C-alpha cells in the first residue's frame, strides 16, 4: 500500500505519519510549501493546513493558499491516480465565521463535487479539539502549562462554551481503522461524543495539577459556536479527558524535571 501524508511534521500529522511508517513500507510525507510527488498513492491523508482560527482573520489569503488551494492540488492528484482521500474538516466548519472555517467547508464541498463528477473515493473526518502530550497549542496544553508555571490563563467569553476534546492517539486509531478497510466510505465524526465546557476543563486541570488557576476573561476575537461536540463519533470508546490531561501534565513535568 502506498500512502501520502500531508502535514506530516505537524502535531497531528507527525503522530499519524510515525504510526503508519511503523506499519507500512511505502509512506511519503510532505508539508505545506513542499512540492507534491506525482505518484500513484492508494491513500492520501491530507492533514496539511494552517490551523489557528484566530490568526486566519489577519491572513485570509495565506489561509486560502495553504488550505483551499493546496487541497485542490491534492484532489487533482487523487483524480489522476484514483487515490482515496482522507480529509479532516473541523467541528467549526458548520458555523463558518472566519477564513479557516470557510476554507474547510469549501474543501468538503469540492470533495463532494469530485465524488459526483469523477467518482472520487473519500473519508471526510470532522475533527473536534485534538490534544496530546506533544501538542503546544490548544486549551489542554495552555491550561496545563499555565498551572505548572503559576501563570494566569485567558478565557474568551464566560467559559461556558462546550467543546469535544479527543486524544491524538484516538485520532490515529481512526486512521488505522480506515486503512484496514473497517470503515465504510463517507463522513465521520472524530470526537468523543462528550461535551466539556471550558470551565469544566479548568476544574480538571486544577484537580490534576493541584493548582488553582487565575483566569483573565476577554471578548471573542471572532464569533464561535457555543456547543461543538460529536453526535455520532466513529470511536465509541476513547481516552477520557481527565486521563488525557494527566498524561499532558506528566509530559510537561518530565520536560521541566519537575516531581511527578
Domain locations along the chain: 1-127, 129-166+192-260
Task: Calculate the alpha carbon distances from 191 to 108, 184, 222, 231, 246 in Å.
Answer: 18, 17, 23, 9, 19
CATH number of 129-166+192-260: 3.90.25.10
| Strand, helix or coil for residue 108 | helix
pTM, two decimals, is 0.91
Alpha helices in 84-233 (DSSP H): 99-118, 139-149, 168-179, 198-209
Torsion of CA 229, 190, 126, 159, to 10 degrees: 30
Task: Give the per-residue pLDDT at 84.
Answer: 98
In 3D space, the residue among 36, 50, 34 whose CA is nearest the CA of residue 4 turns out to be 36
Q: How many Å apart are CA 250 and CA 150, to the nearest integer? A: 16
Task: Give the per-residue pLDDT at 121.
Answer: 98
Question: pLDDT tens digit string along 112-134?
Answer: 999 999 999 999 999 999 999 99
Task: Give the per-residue pLDDT at 93.
Answer: 59
Q: 156 φ, ψ to 5°? A: -95, 125
Question: pLDDT tens digit string along 182-193?
Answer: 999 999 999 999
Average pLDDT in the 22-34 region?
94
Is the pLDDT at 180 greater than 70? The verdict is yes
The fold of 1-127 is: Rossmann fold (3.40.50)
Which range has the worst mean pLDDT, 45-59, 187-201, 214-228, 236-250?
214-228
Task: Give the per-residue pLDDT at 57.
Answer: 87
Amino acid at each position: 500500500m502506498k500512502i501520502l501524508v500531508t502535514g506530516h511534521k505537524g502535531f497531528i500529522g507527525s503522530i499519524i505519519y510515525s504510526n503508519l511508517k511503523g506499519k507500512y513500507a511505502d509512506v511519503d510525507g510532505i508539508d505545506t510549501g513542499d512540492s507534491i510527488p506525482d505518484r500513484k498513492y492508494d491513500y492520501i491523508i491530507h492533514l496539511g493546513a494552517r490551523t489557528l482560527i484566530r490568526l486566519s482573520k489577519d491572513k485570509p489569503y495565506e489561509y486560502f493558499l495553504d488550505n483551499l488551494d493546496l487541497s485542490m492540488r491534492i484532489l487533482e492528484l487523487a483524480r489522476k491516480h484514483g487515490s482515496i482521500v482522507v480529509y479532516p474538516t473541523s467541528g467549526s466548519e458548520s458555523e463558518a465565521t472566519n477564513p479557516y472555517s470557510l476554507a474547510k467547508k469549501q474543501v468538503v464541498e469540492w470533495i463532494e463535487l469530485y465524488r459526483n463528477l469523477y467518482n472520487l473515493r473519500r473519508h471526510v473526518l470532522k475533527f473536534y479539539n485534538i490534544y496530546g502530550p506533544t501538542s503546544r497549542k490548544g486549551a489542554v496544553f495552555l491550561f496545563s502549562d499555565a498551572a505548572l508555571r503559576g501563570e494566569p490563563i485567558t478565557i474568551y467569553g464566560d467559559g461556558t462554551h462546550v467543546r469535544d476534546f479527543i486524544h491524538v492517539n484516538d485520532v490515529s486509531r481512526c486512521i488505522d481503522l480506515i486503512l484496514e478497510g473497517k470503515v465504510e466510505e463517507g463522513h465521520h465524526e472524530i470526537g468523543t461524543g462528550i461535551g466539556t465546557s471550558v470551565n469544566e476543563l479548568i476544574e480538571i486541570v486544577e484537580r490534576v495539577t493541584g493548582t488553582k488557576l487565575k483566569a483573565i476573561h476577554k471578548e471573542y476575537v471572532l464569533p464561535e459556536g457555543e456547543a461543538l461536540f460529536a453526535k455520532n463519533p466513529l470511536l465509541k470508546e476513547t481516552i477520557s479527558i481527565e486521563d488525557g490531561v494527566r498524561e499532558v501534565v506528566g509530559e510537561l513535568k518530565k520536560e521541566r524535571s519537575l516531581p511527578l
